[in-house]
Amino acid sequence: MSDVRPPTLDTVAEAAGVSRATVSRVVNGTARVSPRVHAQVENAIAELGYVPNRAARNLVNRRTDSIALVLREPDATVLADPYLGSMIIAISRALADTTFQLVLVNARNDSKHGTLADYVRGGHFDGVLLASMHTDDPLPGVLVGSHVPTVVSGRPEHPIPGLLFVDSDNVGGGRLATEHLVSLGRRRIATIAGPPDMTATPDRLAGFRAALADAALPEGPVAAGDFTHPSGERAMAELLDRAPELDAVFAGNDMMAAGALRTLRARGRRVPDDVAVVGYDDIDLAHHTEPALTTVRQPVDDAARTMVDLLIGQINGEPGGESVVLPNELVKRDSA
Amino acid sequence: MSDVRPPTLDTVAEAAGVSRATVSRVVNGTARVSPRVHAQVENAIAELGYVPNRAARNLVNRRTDSIALVLREPDATVLADPYLGSMIIAISRALADTTFQLVLVNARNDSKHGTLADYVRGGHFDGVLLASMHTDDPLPGVLVGSHVPTVVSGRPEHPIPGLLFVDSDNVGGGRLATEHLVSLGRRRIATIAGPPDMTATPDRLAGFRAALADAALPEGPVAAGDFTHPSGERAMAELLDRAPELDAVFAGNDMMAAGALRTLRARGRRVPDDVAVVGYDDIDLAHHTEPALTTVRQPVDDAARTMVDLLIGQINGEPGGESVVLPNELVKRDSA
DNA sequence: CACCAAAATGAAAGCGCTCTCATTGCGGGC
DNA sequence: GCCCGCAATGAGAGCGCTTTCATTTTGGTG
């Protein structure tokens, strides 16, 4: 309600005794300006506390200088997984050194103005980062079709021409976890898989099976979970019923691994003595379970930085961006 | 790189055979338009897929339609606490039904363009939400001084005129936890306090002491932590050394409670039989510790919604916003 | 049927910025 | 001393929108 308007380019120009164009030039460093004039302008800017008006700038430049982070999680269950939170923080950090703002778009499909797809396509953002994608989600296709620079986290089920993604090597991760169990001498290895509509699930499963095959071990039983703690408890119970003699479990994420741990304890199985357990993600919780979880760590910070770099490259029209698959790492603790 | 520009008001106007002003009116519902013309315009909009240009709108309206969520956490340690993540999600959800965008500003003091304070003051946002404040942070004062609508999460140490905050009743929460321990018959009750530079810490401590006084119990030992898991382990060890006979602990958050649990187990104390433990926050982890944590739940969703409502009220110049303190709730599980 | 108020619409002025194009100023080569 | 070329600067158009103000249309009344 204060009616004092912030200084504009013209204000500064007048104060410095030059034209608006010149001030613009020094603000943007876009052309040479004589040292004397440059100093005058700088002084005027400092004195008036001038800050460029973003809207005006965006209008003429046809850029918004902001990128959307779309979280595709209709149900709160998966939001409980701190992995997503760490992703958000990592992306925000990766963006901190750029001029881009991070806009969080919490997307239950069409909450905002009309469809989410329309909203995102509506030129509100220079680019879009998609996290926690499901295989049947049409959004990435729509965005690419609308020429909106887009990078998704996690390999899409079907490659979409022009869609870049950053993923961690889930096949390798599944293999890493399973090979570790094998190296421990375990022979009856089961797995708790994640939701089938995220590619991480089949990928980790593929790594699991490949490692088993390499070790000439029979394919262990598979139970399905949905990345939540309770689903891990249930899946473990199911596994125990189906294969009471199992001596190891590879869980599709740490949350489910924690659930499995609880079921194992309830059933009187000691971990890792009777049953070894390996999780996935290395979320904070992995330190706190009893026993502490051996798990596969994903390079969240690297992934975030890579996504941001790829996206900005696309926004700037640089050629040659390529999807990236980052390696994972086994973190050995006490559960296996 | 595509050179086809999106449709503008003029495009639509021409297609509908009316003036730009009229189209603007139907888009904004700002004035009456005859039904026939209205329909024509709607058709044209639908056909062309017109979406208003946000920058142009912002320029003339002097609004950005976006609000900043500033996370004031220089060190990653506190970021590991999922409480913050749940806050982010809750705020994002609370904003989903409004026209405002949520911009995440991850603020290690002056990463972006110049000082954070300047950046935030630079008119990039209509309002600011501050989370995880520390008592010595000058930012809220600066913002209020610059007439930037601001709402902070958590009571500031010294009331700042014009600064609204939303907090949960930490004194009451500390009391709730402690009274529960007292009601369990515990008599030697210790506490692990959080970082002293957040008001939640002295407040919870005050509640703790008040409850002890009410029960005519001596003031128990206090150890200091920093809200992290390791600090909880250390603080518990210290407490055990100083007061080996203690039979209950109230921890300033769940993370430290989990650490305390681990130390207790290592020292051979059974929970809750030998030592009862109560945490604070009811983060997801509270379900997964062994035993599951009894804890104080903060109304995160309510708090988020309240913050958003207050902020939007301020932005719209509505009078009469008041700081709010929300009640907490004791969640009984197995640790006490 | 003429008249006037009210309703509907249009014309146009900016919002603050960038950038093209034109103009000015300057030094050096002849 | 004059002219040319380049560096420095300024003038001004326009980005897409909202909004005031003027104008046209409409419809009710005498």
Using a CB–CB cutoff of 8 Å, tell me whether A31 touches chain B: no
Cβ within 8 Å, pair A55-B53 = no
Which residues of chain A neighbour B84 with C-beta distances below 8 Å? Answer: 85
Nearest nucleotide to B22 (CA to C1') is C9
% of chain A beyond a pLDDT of 70: 94
Which pLDDT score is estimated for A137? Answer: 84
Q: Separation of CA A3 and C1' D6 in angstroms? A: 45
Which pLDDT score is estimated for B169? Answer: 97
- CA B127/CA B121 separation, integer angstroms: 10
Answer yes or no: are the C-beta atoms of B283 and B89 closer than 8 Å.
no
> What is the CATH code for B170-297?
3.40.50.2300
Pairing of strands B127-131, B66-71: parallel
Tokens of B69: 């969520």
Note which residues in 37-66 of chain A have CB less than 8 A from chain B: 51-56, 58-59, 64, 66
Lowest mean pLDDT among A75-79, A80-84, B15-19, B274-278: A75-79
Could you tell me the pTM of the whole model?
0.88
- CA B168/CA B166 separation, integer angstroms: 7
Using a CB–CB cutoff of 8 Å, tell me whether B240 touches chain A: no
Which pLDDT score is estimated for B113? Answer: 52
Q: Separation of CA A68 and C1' C21 in angstroms? A: 37
Nucleotides of D under 7 A from a protein CB: 7-12, 14-20
% of chain A beyond a pLDDT of 90: 63
> What is the CATH code for B66-168+300-326?
3.40.50.2300
Cβ within 8 Å, pair A111-B97 = yes
Sign of CA dihedral B111, B113, B115, B116: negative
- CA B116/CA B27 separation, integer angstroms: 36
CA dihedral A200, A226, A117, A67 (to 10 degrees): -60
Which pLDDT score is estimated for B278? Answer: 98
Which residues of chain A neighbour B147 with C-beta distances below 8 Å? Answer: 2
Which pLDDT score is estimated for B116? Answer: 73
Which pLDDT score is estimated for B112? Answer: 47
Residue A28 CB partners (closer than 8 Å, separation 6+)? none
| Bigger pLDDT: A333 vs B99 | A333
List the single residue in A2, A58, A288 with the smallest CB-CB distance to B285. Answer: A288
Which residues of chain A neighbour B284 with C-beta distances below 8 Å? Answer: 80, 82, 229, 285
Which residues of chain A neighbour B102 with C-beta distances below 8 Å? Answer: 103-104, 106
Q: Which residue of B has its CA nearest to A51?
A: B122
Q: Separation of CA B110 and C1' C18 in angstroms? A: 27
Decide if B66-168+300-326 and B170-297 have a common fold. Answer: yes
Which pLDDT score is estimated for A1? Answer: 44
Using a CB–CB cutoff of 8 Å, tell me whether A288 touches chain B: yes
Which pLDDT score is estimated for A321? Answer: 86
Which pLDDT score is estimated for B1? Answer: 44
User: Which three-class secondary structure string do you get for chain B?
Assistant: CCCCCCCCHHHHHHHHCCCHHHHHHHHHCCCCCCHHHHHHHHHHHHHHCCCCCHHHHHHHHCCCCEEEEEECCCCHHHHCCHHHHHHHHHHHHHHCCCCCEEEEEECCCCCCCCCHHHHHHCCCCCEEEEECCCCCCCHHHHHHHCCCCEEEECCCCCCCCCCEEEEECHHHHHHHHHHHHHHCCCCCEEEEECCCCCCHHHHHHHHHHHHHHHCCCCCCCEEECCCCHHHHHHHHHHHHHHCCCCCEEEECCHHHHHHHHHHHHHCCCCCCCCCEEEEEECCCHHHHCCCCCEEEECCHHHHHHHHHHHHHHHHCCCCCCCCEEECCEEECCCCC
Residue A232 CB partners (closer than 8 Å, separation 6+)? A192, A225, A251, A255, A256, A257, A258, A259, A260, A262, A263
Q: Separation of CA B13 and C1' C20 in angstroms? A: 29
The full set of domain ranges for chain A reads: 9-52, 66-168+300-326, 170-297
pLDDT in tens, chain B (336 residues): 445 788 999 999 999 999 999 999 999 988 888 888 999 999 999 999 898 999 999 999 999 989 999 987 655 555 566 777 788 888 988 998 888 999 998 766 554 456 777 777 777 899 999 987 778 888 888 888 888 899 999 999 888 888 999 999 999 999 999 999 999 999 999 999 999 988 999 999 999 999 999 999 999 999 999 998 889 999 999 999 999 999 999 999 999 999 999 999 999 999 999 999 999 999 888 988 889 999 999 999 999 999 999 999 999 888 888 999 999 999 999 999
Which residues of chain A neighbour B79 with C-beta distances below 8 Å? Answer: 89
Most confident region among A105-109, A281-285, B53-57 by mean pLDDT: B53-57
Q: pLDDT tens digit string along A141-180?
A: 888 888 889 999 999 988 888 899 999 999 999 999 999 9
Which pLDDT score is estimated for B2? Answer: 47
- CA B151/CA B158 separation, integer angstroms: 15
Using a CB–CB cutoff of 8 Å, tell me whether B115 touches chain A: no
List the single residue in B59, B93, B101 with the smallest CB-CB distance to A56. Answer: B59
Nucleotides of C under 7 A from a protein CB: 7-12, 14-20
Residue lying closest to nucleotide D9, CA to C1': A22
> What is the CATH code for B9-52?
1.10.260.40
Which pLDDT score is estimated for A68? Answer: 93
Residue lying closest to nucleotide D12, CA to C1': A21
Which pLDDT score is estimated for B31? Answer: 83
Which pLDDT score is estimated for A131? Answer: 87
Which pLDDT score is estimated for A2? Answer: 47
| Bigger pLDDT: B251 vs A74 | B251
What's chain B's Rg over C-alpha atoms? 26
Q: Separation of CA A123 and C1' D26 in angstroms? A: 40
The answer to whether strand D lies under 7 Å from the CB of residue B63 is: no
